[in-house]
Structures are given as structure tokens and as C-alpha cells.
Amino acid sequence: MRTDESFTPKPRILTFGEPLVAMVPDAPGVVSPMHQFRPYPVGAELNTAVGLARLGLHPVVACCVGADPFGSLIRSAARSEGIDISEVQVSTAGSTAVMFKQRSGLQMNTSVYYYRSASPMAMGEWNPEAVQERIVTDNFDWVHATGITWMISNQCRNVATDLFRIAHQRGVPVSFDINVRLKLAAAEGWRQLIQEVLPFVTWLFIGDEEADLLFATTHAREIEAECLNHGFNGVGVVVKRGDKGATVSTGGTEITVSARRVAAVVDTVGAGDGFNAGFIAGLLRDGSVDEALSLGTIVGAYAVTSIGDYHGYPTWTEALQELRGIQGVPR
């Protein structure tokens, strides 16, 4: 794997999908009038873009937000992370999507509540022409998205499929994280979506619980075999197993990497998106599949140590130290 902190040309990755602002309470427990909330820019593709930027790559985010303070917050935060926001459109029709997070119960489980039906992307206000053209002309090294985008609206579904199709036709590697949200569609809808996009996908990411729901198995080799029966001609399938690590199956051969230990789990939301960033960055830095898996588990582990989806993601220097087994000096 190329381990230099800055290298040229930096691989360029296009991610597309709807960002949101997460309202996070100042204390755990069921949301009540006593809580105060802090806004955090989030969203699966935005999270992955942040992870990629911190790992020294050049992510471009394509989406549409509202002409409102939350939309400004998202654009400002993305820009501050070094993300190319030239394809972030601003629409006066609709408001930026919002979600509320809640951590409660004996296990401090995280629940989320979405308010996005009046967002520009849900209302069909996203104009894809510019980003479609850029896939043809800009020589992206990778395209990444999650299934959430397909479920936001019919217009988003058509746009997202077209972007994958164009990237595939151009020979650009495409990664797809199914990222099931049963509040957006029932399980059968997600099964149909996987079959719809598989012909364009190079790498399929899926969580173990999602795999059990959609494929009735959590074994990466079995999932890859099933995908091959539905038009998949990509490289492999990655099953993310949370605190048990991750397994990839490529050509029927499985590789498993254990999860990294952390002192305390604060918030698990965003860990999967961080894993995606680490895995993609590992491959684009000319790493092997097992090195990419290791980098993915490192970013995922960092993610769970902080409030906010991506705020705990490591820099390339921090991730590299973990890869090399270098311990920081306690003070």
C-alpha cells in the first residue's frame, strides 16, 4: 500500500446521495423538552466522503440541499474537510433534510427519526446533467453510493441508476452499500434494488444484519454466489460485522479481518460509512484486499469513539500508525 501522506495525482472519488443535518441531544435518554440539541452535518455518502478526504484522497460530493441555514452548514462543513462541493446544488424548493438521534435503554441503543419528505431531492429537484457529464469527462477513479438515494424519490432512483450505468460503461469502479432503511422501503424493495444495480457494481458492501434480512445468510461467499446469479460481474462482496470485523469474498475466496478494539463505544452511527471510506482508500492506495479490509476496520473503530457520524474518523497519519501498530505516547 502506498503510505506517503500526500501523493499525486490524488485519486478522485465521486459520491452522491442526500446529506442531512442530525440533531443530537446533549444527554442520553428519550428525547424530551429538557434536551438541548446540536446540529451535525451527516449522511451516508457525506460521511464516506469525509473519511476519504481525511485519508488523503479527493472526494467529490453530488447532491441537492435547501437554500437554508442547514444547507449552508452542510456545504461549509464539507468544504472545511477538503471535499469538492462544486456538484452540491442549492434549491429554493424544499428544505434541507433533518434527522433526530436518540440514545436510550439499558444498552444505549441509537434510534433515528427522519424528516426529509420536503427535501429538494425528495421533491425531484436534483438536476443530474452536470455530474453525468463529469463522469464522462473527469476521469474519476471511483464512484460510490448507497441504496438510500434510490429510495428517496423516483427521480433520485432514475438519476442514481443512470450515474452507475455511465460509470460502469466508462470502466470506473463502482461500490454500492445497500444501507437498508426499513422506514424507506420494506425488505422486498431492497432485494429488488440490489438486483437492479448489481450489473453495474464492482464492490457490494452489506452489513451482517442486512445480509441475513435480504439473503438469509451472513456468509460472504454465499452472498457472492447469489449475486452472480443476478447479473453481478464485479470483484467482490464485503460483509461488515461490526465488532466482529469484516469478511470479503472475491471469486469465492474469503478473507476475514477482526475488528479493532476500542476503550469505549460512544456512538456506532457512521461506523459503516467510515469502513467504506477505509476500504476504498486502501484499494486506491494500491493496497491488497486484506490491507483495505484492515484500513476499513480502523476507520470504523475510530468512528464509534465520538458523537457525530464522522467526527471521530482518523487522518491518514493516525490510520497509518494503527496499521503499523504504533502506539501513541500517553501524557
Residue 315 and residue 299 in contact, taking contact as beta carbons nearer than 8 Å: no
- The torsion angles phi and psi of 125, rounded to 5 degrees, stand at -95, 0
* Type of residue found at 166: I
Residue 171 backbone zone (phi > 0: left; psi -120 to 50: alpha; other: beta): left
Range list of β-strands (E), the chain: 12-16, 20-25, 37-42, 58-66, 84-91, 98-104, 109-115, 142-146, 174-177, 203-207, 236-240, 246-250, 253-257
Scan for cell 467504506, then name that residue. 276
The residue from 208, 267, 273, 309 that is catalytic is: 273
Strands 109-115 and 142-146: unpaired
Dihedral angle, C-alpha 27, 30, 36, 37, nearest 10 ° = 90
Integer Cα distance of 259 and 268 in angstroms: 13
273 catalytic? Reply is yes
User: How remote is the C-alpha of 258 from its chain's centroid?
Assistant: 20
| Catalytic residue positions, numbered | 273
